[in-house]
Amino acid sequence: MNVRKIVTVVEEVRAEGGRAVTPPATVAVTAAVIANPWAGAGFVEDLSPGIDAHASGLGALLAPAVLEALGAPAEAYGKAAVVGLDGEIEHGSALIHTLKFGDHFRKAAGATTLLPAVEKRGAAGVVFDIPLKHITDATIRSHHQTVEVRIADAPHPDEIVVGLAAAAQGRPQQRLAALATER
Q: Are strands 145-150 and 127-134 parallel, antiparallel or unpaired?
A: antiparallel
**Looking at residues 52-72, what average pLDDT do you find?**
98
Please tell me the predicted confidence (pLDDT) of residue 179. Answer: 72
Please tell me the predicted confidence (pLDDT) of residue 183. Answer: 66
Please tell me the predicted confidence (pLDDT) of residue 40. Answer: 87
**Residue range(s) defining the domain that contains residue 148:** 3-181
- Whether the pTM exceeds 0.75: the reply is yes
The CATH number of whichever domain residue 139 belongs to comes to 3.30.1330.110
Per-residue model confidence as pLDDT tens digits over 93-122: 999 999 999 999 999 999 999 999 999 999
SS3 36: coil
Give me the sign of the Cα torsion angle 167, 171, 144, 84: negative
Residue 123 pLDDT > 90, yes or no?
A: yes
Closest CA to 78 of 112, 105, 110: 105
- Give the total number of structural domains in the chain: 1
